[in-house]
Amino acid sequence: MKLIGVGDNVVDFYKDQGKIYPGGNSLNVAVMFNRLNDEQSSYIGIVGNDGAADYVLEVLQKEKIEISRVRQAVGENGMAVVALDKDGDRIFIGSNRGGIQSILGIVLNDKDLDYIRQHDLLHTSVYSHIEHNLQKLSQLIDISFDFSTNQKDHYLQKVCPYVTYAFFQEVI
């Protein structure tokens, strides 16, 4: 099975460690699926032109993720600032709200759609801001979607008709 992640990518800056780690739901799923599967996973998204974006691209290449359709734009890559609580759980203490990807939003062209068709499953998330593409994409490929904690009725009604597999985070 071939998977393509479409959408969000960020770096998590662990303030107490002074280190950054690549992430973002769509990117993470593509990487983990690639590690567990014989087929090469792919990723489409927008990265910035800063050091964080360079690091994301470097890690994706090391992970052998196919990134030929990634766009690079002038601006900050998505970044979240993270601290750890006394139990070692992450606490998000700040962000640039997805950086340049959330500002521009990914526009999928015919070449992207042809490329996506070469996969069996597309994974994306509430943080990818591609809801406007879901109807068209659902006619091409099965979609898995991570809603995180967004369980608002109007959002679910808008997205769920186009999703094959849905993931939700428990709201405490």
What are the residue ranges spanned by the domains of the chain? 3-167
pTM of the model: 0.94
Q: Are 172 and 149 in contact (CB under 8 A)?
A: no
Which tokens go with 122? 């597309």
Closest CA to 130 of 1, 5, 3: 5
In this model, does residue 47 exceed pLDDT 90?
Answer: yes
Instruction: Determine the topology of domain 3-167 in CATH.
Output: UDP-N-acetylmuramoyl-L-alanine:D-glutamate ligase (3.40.1190)
C-alpha to C-alpha distance for 156 and 108, rounded to whole angstroms: 23
Q: pLDDT band for position 170 (50/70/90)?
A: confident
Q: Which pLDDT tens digit goes with each residue over 79-108?
A: 999 999 999 999 999 999 999 999 999 999
Place of tokens 């070469």: 118
Question: pLDDT tens digits, residue range 102-152?
Answer: 999 999 999 999 999 999 999 999 999 999 999 999 999 999 999 999 999
Residue 171 has pLDDT above 80, yes or no: no
pLDDT one-digit tens code per residue, 49-71: 999 999 999 999 999 999 999 99
Structure tokens, 143: 């979609």
Other Cβ atoms within 10 Å of 44 Cβ, number? 25
Q: Is the pLDDT of residue 172 over 80?
A: no
Query: Average pLDDT of 24-33?
Result: 97
SS3 of residue 100 by DSSP: helix
Average pLDDT over residues 17-36: 96
Residue 155 scores a pLDDT above 80: yes
